[in-house]
Structure 1
Amino acid sequence: MVQQSVSTGSLTNEFFVMSNDSVFDCNSSNRRSQDTVDVDGDGITDETICRTTANIEVAGIATLDSEKVVQGEVDTSFSTSGTTVPGGRVDYQLTITNQGTVPMTNIFVVDILPAIGDTQVLNTSSARGSQWRPNLAGPVTVAIPGVTVEYTTNSNPCRPNPSDGQDLNWPSGCVNDWSTTFPSDPSAVTALRFNLGNLVLDPLESVILNWPMRAPAGAPTNGEIAWNSFAFVSTRTDQSGAAATLLPAEPPKVGVQIQPPTPAIIGDLVWDDQNGNGIQDNSEPGINGVRVELWEDGGDGQPGTSDDSFYGFTLTAPDGTGNDGLYLFSNVPGGDYFLKFIPSANLNLSAQDQGGDETADSDADPNTGQTNVFSVNQTTDTRDFDAGLTSVDPATASLGDFVWLDTDDNGTQDGGEVGVNGVTVELYDTGNTLIDSTQTSNDFNDNPGFYRFRDLTPGTYYVKFIAPPSHAFSAQDQGDDTLDSDADATGQTANITLSAGDSNQDVDAGIVPDPILGDFVWIDNNSDGLQNLGELGLNGVTVNVYNPGADGQPGGGDDSLLATTVTTNDVAGNPGFYSFSGLAAGNYVLEFIAPSGYEIGFQNVGNDDTIDSDADPNTGYTEVFALATSEDKRDLDVGMIALPVTSTGEVSGTLYQDDNPQNDTFDNGESTLPVNIKVVLYEDVNNNDVIDAGDTQQAFTETNNSGNYRFTSLRAGKYIVQVDTNDADIPDGFMLGTSNDIPIEVTNTAVGEDP
């Protein structure tokens, strides 16, 4: 069998014959060969063997597989259907995988977000059927370099023509106003477009796209569904011209339904305080697109201290009934909390607690955006935490704005370099008096690493950044002042003079990790020994660093253990990283210990040491290497391969039309459902017979012509079978006659279930 990840072209298969018989010989001299690599393992490398070859031509198959899943507020994992509550999360995940043998490029994705009265992306005459509209809650972030994300607020955006895939200005009358600029009011976004440009997706490689949305505060709560779908087009790299373009495809839609919120419930309004009195007057409208964060108090009763923990965020948006500026947090556990309102740069918060009506005042501190700490329980429904916003006082000034991880240490903000939250930033006057202090956090667009000092008296100031542990500052003033790092080696900037009305948002700082030895362990999905697109890091891997002993060989028994660490997330939240710091110049060796269920992959594949695996698969040790004084060495990586399932457990069943639902049994004469209905298998990790946090999707399949499905080669344990109720192949009017989460226990024998 040809491995699925093999690319188009010719494969050579070699066949060897050997014998200890003294009269053994090949029937052709050109097939005679010397056993230089000891094929038969007898330790003799000068004997004669017979060798012949055959070529296999792998045909060029161009096919992309795609999947859209959703996770609502009350869901524990992504699925093809979700459930949320008013104000709750609606997070989408889109995956495109190259299942063919030809590398694919020029991948172009258009996602039309749910809206009442919406249609399919490609078949605009077919209604999609959404009954409510979720709102985008932040910019779409893609960690893959070269991917462009575009937004539109138009109800009929241009998309690929389904007849040829090359015309991107379809349908007739569409508006081509796509923009890479994230709008100030995210709730106005109607569609997303992803252009993967020159990115080449090799066989079995995947691209995963994620973005957050929120249900409106006034959404209907009787099970109404919002439907979402996307279309994509791509070209194959082995052809050119029109023939290279695959026709656009639109995978099945996914739905998320609404159920009533349960306490504790917290809301509700951010408004335009046009007269600046801190009180909601009848004619003052709500403001959409303001970020509102919910924090759990750490126990000291003070908002904004180090013991507090982030709970979640939302954006103010239309409530679905004609009102703007509403937000809502639902299903909040009992406890002590506070809110933080983050306005845009051109708006300030109104005065706090004006007047005697708590339902009409502004509850946020104008300096911090935080409310006082308050308590909720499982009966609380409090919708009077409001914030008024006013225009910036023209007699004042402001200063900001960004601290980022300078991964290439060039002192300039480059594409893909991310902001860092939690960095302390202090503001001083020229008399060295501390004026204010803050920490970097997400801005109102959910981007990390930002800070701001508002309502400053005109004058001269300087900023001091406090570097996180094991980090230093980038070189100062390298080029464009909007993109460079303004801090010197101590974290202090030059003096900054502000006049009335000034808003200087160019005071930035790049930080770099101190020299380390590292740095990455990844899951080698295709077992090729190289870090490929879409392969993720693996946390929890133990890594040891040694001084080699007198024999100079790794693992010889005389090595000296210096330190031990475990792979974890880096400062940007990416898994699989490890580091050792403070090592003196000398010779070292690393040991990687494969966790349960994994083995170490191939060593030193290819010529690029930054993406290969450096540990011996048998011992886990690297080769001995030298480390110079203050050297930063981050190319000692290891690929881990998931071990194959060796047990023979099996789950199978049949989807059928139950004409006698009272007996819940597949009776003679009852017909099976059509082919190609998707069935998903989850591992019930905590053995509670429901799909919840920690349970993992093991596999999915589709029913055959007889309505049967089957999962094989399963480890013994508990599983849950789930039918994709949104599958387009389920006939209209059909619904499940049993629970959709069917618990199954797998032993050494096969088990079956007939939903």
Structure 2
Amino acid sequence: MQRKVIRAALIATSLLCLSQQKVQAQTITIGDRVWYDVNRDGRQDSGEPGVSNVTVKLFADANGDNVADNATPTATATTDANGMYAFNNVTAGMYFVQFPIPVPAGYTGYTTQGAAGVPQDQWSACNVNTGKTGTHNFTATYLYKDAGLLKNAEISGTVYDDNNAGTPDGTVFPNVGVTLQKDGVYASANTTDASGNYTFSNLVPGNYTVVLSVGGGYNNVGSTDATPLDGSTNVTVGNSNVSGVNFGLNYKPTATNDNLNNQTPGTVATVSNILSNDSDPNGGTLSKDSLSLVAPSGATGITTDAQGDVTGFTVPNQGTWALNSSTGAVTFTPQSGFTANPTPINYTVTDNAKLTSNAATITVDYNTLVTLSGTVYNDINGGTIDGIPTNAINALNALLVNGAGNVVATVPVNTSGQYKFTNVTPGDYSIILSTTAGTVGQAAPAASLPSGWANTAEGITTAGDGTANGSFAITISSTSISNADFGIEQLPTPTSNTAAAQHNPGGTNSATVPATEFGGTDPDGGTLTSLRIITFPFGITSITINNVTYTAANFPADGVSIPTNAQGQPTQNIAVDPSSAGPSKVRIRFKITDNAGKESSDAAILDLPFLGIIKGNVFNDVDAMNGNDMVDGSGINKPSGQQLYAYLLNSAGLIIDTATVTATGSFTFNKAAENTTYTAVISTTNAAIGSSNPSVALPSNWVNTGEQVGGVTGN
């Protein structure tokens, strides 16, 4: 109505001018309106507002080329509050109207010029690029030079990798597809830029929906409307841009299965902090109080926390599960008599973006109790564990020891050499053979055997574990073991001996040590394989073994081992050089080894007596020691033609050596032992070794004048 009134006024003015035509040139009015084309259809629709304070210019164009004849406009007008303008009192002629370029502030362009199907009095006459109308030959008032302005309304926002839900924020998320719908119909599509931003431009007022295209496992966690998890936001566009239509995306956290193995049947089992192996792929933090058990079908006594997370329940006929929301620990308490494995349960964890993980499984495995047994053998040959079962005269115990070194179980070895542990929980242990029983729960005693016994091998194979120390490690699974065996044996015993006396070779000469003088026994009935001379023998200068000569300077610190026959007699030659040329004793200390490779604990002694030489003379002592108190004179052996014999008697008066006096009157005894008192006798009687004390007998008319030893005075 307002427009019609304004136009009527302009026409009236024109008519008034025509009535004066006779006295001046014809003048006209050119103009109309600048308006905001809200719906961008090129038509002045009812309710679309005029735009005020727009400067409009009229340029003369006499040749009609749509280029101004000069830079100075013929007229200038400014739109009023309703967007109306008019160039009044304009001389009729060729003109075009220039609307401002650039467009007025707050607008982005002009609407379609001469839109199809729109009447001239409702269209926009303005070129969208130049702001000009076409050149027109105005011969009368013309009120159809309108211009429609446009506003390019926008919807914009940002997509975030949002770890905390609520208002979308966090790290920007590029390359996310965003779709725009208008009134439920697809309108446009876009993709977020490197900064996570998107924009939909050139939008007409109306109702829109921005929809996020989520993929790659991401989930909607936030938006700017009341339904933040559906990935879409409804937006009403009016005459201005709509910004901040933001979205938050996030991965779900990942929960990982937890397994607790090797539990003792019938005991409480606790899985410590099930959250420890869970993760948030977005780098967010997972909280223990966001854990929730999943109660299985049929569970009773279900408990929840303030957030509604399940913290416990009971599975009938099995036991109770409980979650500690402070530590993340989950405990299974079996009901009385239940020793099997409980049915695994599930749990989830929710992150700060309110996304809940996959369901992970908690499994508790209880061990199957098994039997562990073995045999102790009198293993006389070493090597493989075998022989006759024994308990070493009721002196042995088998102890089962845990990794902490404490006794788990202890049993005596029976008279058949056997032992057995029952109801053993699978795990890593040691088995010890000891003369001490030990106490369950206390530190295990050391492995030990009765005196005179030694370990030969132990283990679950016949070869043993290679240490032969009375203890071995064993891993027990779900299968019973019956061959955790030990091999032991009694140590061999070397035999001490004093060999028959032999002649001292004297000088640097050596005497052979008879092999038969060595020996020993094996109480288990085994055989002997070697002996070891443990120290350099006493009373010698050197010892030669298998053609290798040793002195005190080069004798090995650990002795010399020599192979023997089954009786412990050496099979290599042994010879010694006594350090004394006279009567002496050589002492050899040795140990013996049996066919189980075990050496005697004690050493034996072999004494080798060497005999000295006693020499003397029989003199025809004509002065009967009267001249110098010495036995002297010329040697004689057959006084009055009767042969003289010399005898060496021991303390028992038995002859141990004899000698026939030589022509020079000399005689020699070769069987004198060291540190022994003897009696020397001469007689014409020829007596045998071993006979009793012979009488001193000389030919008639001969008498004894004296006896002496060395250079001392005779008697």
TM-score range, shorter chain: under 0.3
Structure-1-length-normalised TM-score: 0.21
Q: How high is the TM-score relative to the length of structure 2?
A: 0.22
Greater radius of gyration (CA): 2
Higher strand share: 2
